[in-house]
Amino acid sequence: MSAIDFWLGRHRDTATDLPGADLPWLARLREDAIDRFADEGWPTTRRENWRHTSLAFMAQQVLVVREAVTPEAVVAALRARYQAARGAAHAPARQGVESAPESAPESASKDGHWVIFVDGHFAPALSAIGGLPGGVRIGSLADALGQTPEAVEAAFGEAGDGEAPAALNAALAADGAWIRLGRGVAVEPPIHLVFIGARVTDQHLRNLIVAETGAQATIVEHYPVGAAGSTLTTAVTRVLAAQDSHVTHLKLQQEAPEAIHLATIEAEQARGAVFASHSLSFGARLARHDIRTRLAGEGAEALLNGLYHADGRRHVDHHTRIDHARPQGTSREFYRGLLDGSARGVFTGRILVAQDAQRTDAMQRCDNLLLSRLAEADARPELEIYADDVKCAHGATVGQLDEDALFYLRSRGVDAVHARQLLTYAFAAEVLDRIAHAPLRALGRAALLERLPDGARLEELL
């Protein structure tokens, strides 16, 4: 049996049991998606969009769980980390005035709303969704397919969207998050979506976020360390941002060292909509992130901001695309990579400015820091411009730590090891500083320090 036959068989065995199987439009879409995956197969370097990343090994890859995890413990640890990050973010500066400690106990309103998925399915017993403003729905996609299928259909996407792994996701996804933000509603605390692979070899998740006119929210996708072993996660997150809405999306990927993570984030922005994407990729043997947004309305704004750390023989790939379709759009794109051991980091970013997108202001940059002689970085920033009244720029660098900066720190009494760590952290911190929400910025900082050697000591020096 070939690797493709395995997934075709999985689709045949599960199609009638998936949520929404009785909806003609969804059944047809799933059939079209699995047919597309069968035609295209796993991408290889022969395809332009996969020039530096091949999934040919998936033809022989055996998915296996070597050690399961307890979801309750994972959730408790993650919430404790966020509470610590929130406390650190709101702590007074060392030279500032002391503030009185909070007397109120931790609550869902302070910690945000927590929507937990275990092995690809919503886990209501582990979730904690607090009080919501009128017009806001946060819950399970599987439930939404039964309750409001027409709304889901409008946001679900098509079988031809994205790359081949996204087609496999469309065919097999059983659940994911369903978030609908009503007109003019602001959800202040972050909405945490936590996806734990506890016992299964593969999970397929589809998240739909619909922000109506003027709505505002911050959504966090957590992929914490789950079951040990060669496991597969496919995830597709679609964001529909209506006029003047503001959506911030932060993804924190920390899966186990043997895991394979294949994900897509797609956004559609109407007039004046603001979309900010922060991608922090710190886990998995191979992680591929396809991030795309279309500025479909005049005056839309987009920020794509990413940080990745890879060591050993790990491989991480960010493939981005920003489509400026209407005038006066603004986009900023910043990615930075820390690469150690024999790791490889890949960034391919494309900004497309249509003929009608006059007065576009777009800037793209990718910088990589090689921490070992065997580490490798590939950076391909691209501009494709059909308008003549634009301001666009791009750039990329690949290098090592600055010897002059190292010498300066050594001359100030910092030993060689910690001087390197300080400079490494400073290189990455510029990405974290763009995360506006202070507790999430602190959470990202803590996740980065966990990845760096002797991070606890480094934190004392900061």
Q: Give the domain ranges of the chain.
A: 63-85+109-409, 410-462
- Residues 32-42 have a mean pLDDT of 97
Q: What is the pLDDT of residue 459?
A: 74
Residue 261 has pLDDT above 50, yes or no: yes
pLDDT, position 94: 42
3-state secondary structure of 280: strand
* Residue from 449, 334, 340, 443 nearest 396 by CA: 334
C-alpha Rg value of the chain to the nearest Å: 22
The band of 108, judged by pLDDT with boundaries at 50, 70 and 90, is: low
The predicted pLDDT at position 421 comes to 87
* Tens digit of each residue's pLDDT (9 = 90 or more) over 322-342: 999 999 999 999 999 999 999
Question: Which residues sit opposite 369 in a β-bridge?
Answer: 338, 399
In 9-105, DSSP assigns E strands to 64-67
Band of residue 377 on the pLDDT scale cut at 50, 70, 90: very high
Average pLDDT, the chain: 93
Q: What is the pLDDT confidence band of residue 139, given thresholds at 50, 70 and 90?
A: very high
pLDDT in tens, 43-58: 999 999 999 999 999 9
pLDDT at residue number 96 = 38
CA atoms of 30 and 172, how far apart (whole Å): 8
b/e map of 282-298 (b: 16 or more CB within 10 Å)? bbbbbbbbbbbbbbbbb
**Rounded Cα gap, residues 325 and 440, in angstroms:** 31
Q: Which two tokens stand for residue 95?
A: 């030279």
Q: Confidence band (pLDDT; 50, 70, 90) for 98? A: very low
Backbone φ/ψ region at 296: left (φ over 0), alpha (ψ -120 to 50), beta: alpha
The first and second tokens of residue 69, run together, are 């995890």
Percent share of the chain, pLDDT over 70? 95
CA distances from 192 to 12, 111, 112, 167 (A): 33, 9, 7, 25
Instruction: Give per-residue pLDDT as tens, 388-403.
Output: 999 999 999 999 988 8
In the prediction, which pLDDT does 461 show? Answer: 62
Q: 20, 145 in Cβ contact below 8 A? A: yes
CA distance 431 to 237: 22
pLDDT value of residue 405 = 87
Reported confidence tier of residue 1, pLDDT bands at 50, 70, 90: low
Least reliable range by pLDDT among 10-19, 172-181, 411-420: 411-420
pLDDT at 105 over 80: no
Are the C-beta atoms of residues 227 and 256 closer than 8 Å to each other?
A: yes
**The pLDDT of residue 238:** 98
